[in-house]
Structure 1
Amino acid sequence: MAIDTVRRVWALDAPRLTVDCGILMLGTGGENDTIPSPAFLIEHDEGLMLFDTSLAGAGDPAAAYGDMAAAFQIEFPESYRLDRQIEALGYKTTDVRRIVLSHMHFDHTGGLDLFPHAQGFIGAGELRYARTPRTLDAPFFRAEDIEAAGRISWNEVPAGYDHDMFGDGSVVLLSLPGHTPGTLGLKLRLPDESTLVLTSDAAHKRASVDLTIGMPFDVDSLHKHSALQKLKLLGTQPGTTVWISHDPEDWESLRTGGAEITSAAELAAAG
């Protein structure tokens, strides 16, 4: 099978949240970490797609999240609005034909209402769990986002199955359950034929992958450990960069050239 590449990839400007490190990784805590909440825009011959949709409430996070905006110290400038960033690149939100949602936590679903027209891809059981979560992690799901998700036509990716979206090897949806029942990552073949793996919340910190240690709110620690092992193995493949989406150090080092990402090989060398 021929291996093709995506045309372009952007790590869009991301709002930030501040959390205790102990939320991000077991065995840590006592210090705060300010983390990005990203969305990635990908251009393929078959059209535009988004991986995650970040937060809602640009310019006024409290309007979307109430007291949680202050609790997480959400920083979300109006200029970071997802629709405005897409338009600044010369596209419209209606040009986004596909949405890949890593999972249904509120910091990944805030822009779903912009894309009712898109074809959706989500991990099996994820939307069902978002509607009836455990008490422990129920605050991480936002009713308005679940309602917006209900207006999208979803294709479910079975647990344990990595889906080659276009059949050309350029965009592969990675099954990484454990953080939530249907957590997905994304593997992209960039124009220089290097590989970029976006972890979403299958990992929150670089050390999570290195040490295969999860977080307190993972719904399934056994599957989460396997997901971290999978990411660690992917990182050993030549020409592959694993991007821990919430890790602020990854965010700073892998975006040094700006929002557009052209080469995973260059990212790895810079890191």
Structure 2
Amino acid sequence: MYGILIEHPHEGLILWETGSGDDYPVHSGPVINDIFPRIEYKPENRLEVAIAATGNRIEDVKKVIIGHLHADHSGGLDLFFNRPDVEIWVHDLELRSAFWSVATGADIGVYRPNYLQFSLNWKTFDDRSIDFCQGITLHHLPGHTEVERRYSPRMAGP
């Protein structure tokens, strides 16, 4: 579980995913904790502390890119609540699937329902790829989330 900080010369600080957040074991509950290894956070593991170790502050992050919205990839989104200046980028199908999964309870165990906030500055793309900014292209690479399985060209045909 990781977050990668990108220092872009024109866009400023871009964060690729937010890791699981420091309360992941509490949020995920006993069933998920039995499947995945228990995570112990030390103060230096907190996202804002790790960013500070680079000489930056969490407040300096301008954009966040989320590959998919499972809790182990988006658990630090709470640090961007009430930050409408920060764009949260995710593929359109992934955002729709996450909200649907939580609203219907279909796959609620892997998402953090309280993190799917309307107040976050969600930005989406719906093509297979997008020139995100100079030097960075985002690609939709189907993987293991429900939407990725459902809409994967391998599953749906050419």
**What is the TM-score with the length of structure 1 in the denominator?**
0.49
Unaligned runs of 5+ in 2: none
- Select 1:76's aligned residue among 36, 40, 47: 40
Per the alignment, residue 174 of structure 1 pairs with: 139
Give 1:154's aligned amino acid.
Answer: W
1:51 and 2:20 matched: no
* 1:156 alignment partner, SS class: strand
C-alpha separation in 2, matches of 1:130 and 1:39: 20
Is 1:123–1:181's contact at 8 Å kept on the other side of the alignment?
A: no
Per the alignment, residue 145 of structure 1 pairs with: 115
Is 2:21–2:47's contact at 8 Å kept on the other side of the alignment?
A: no
Is 2:97–2:146's contact at 8 Å kept on the other side of the alignment?
A: yes
Is 2:69–2:111's contact at 8 Å kept on the other side of the alignment?
A: yes
Q: Equivalent residues in 2 for 1:242-261 (5 A)?
A: none
Runs of 4+ in 1 over 6 A off after TM superposition: none
* 2:153 alignment partner, SS class: helix
Greater fraction of residues in helix: 2
Give 1:130's aligned amino acid.
Answer: A
Give 2:100's aligned amino acid.
Answer: T
Per the alignment, residue 29 of structure 2 pairs with: 66
Per the alignment, residue 13 of structure 1 pairs with: none
Kindly report the root-mean-square deviation, in angstroms, between the aligned alpha carbons of the 2 structures: 2.5
How far has the Cα of 1:156 moved from its partner? 1.0
**What is the TM-score with the length of structure 2 in the denominator?**
0.79
* 1:89 alignment partner, SS class: coil
- Select 2:57's aligned residue among 92, 103, 116: 92
Between Structure 1 and Structure 2, whose CA radius of gyration is higher? 1
C-alpha separation in 2, matches of 1:179 and 1:53: 18
How far has the Cα of 1:91 moved from its partner? 0.9
1:220 and 2:154 matched: no
Is 2:19–2:76's contact at 8 Å kept on the other side of the alignment?
A: yes
* 1:66 alignment partner, SS class: helix
What is the aligned residue count? 148
Deviations 1:242-264 (Å, cap 9, x if unpaired)? xxxxxxxxxxxxxxxxxxxxxxx
Per the alignment, residue 127 of structure 2 pairs with: 159
C-alpha separation in 2, matches of 1:142 and 1:120: 16
Deviations 1:218-251 (Å, cap 9, x if unpaired)? 532743579xxxxxxxxxxxxxxxxxxxxxxxxx
Identity of aligned residues (%): 28
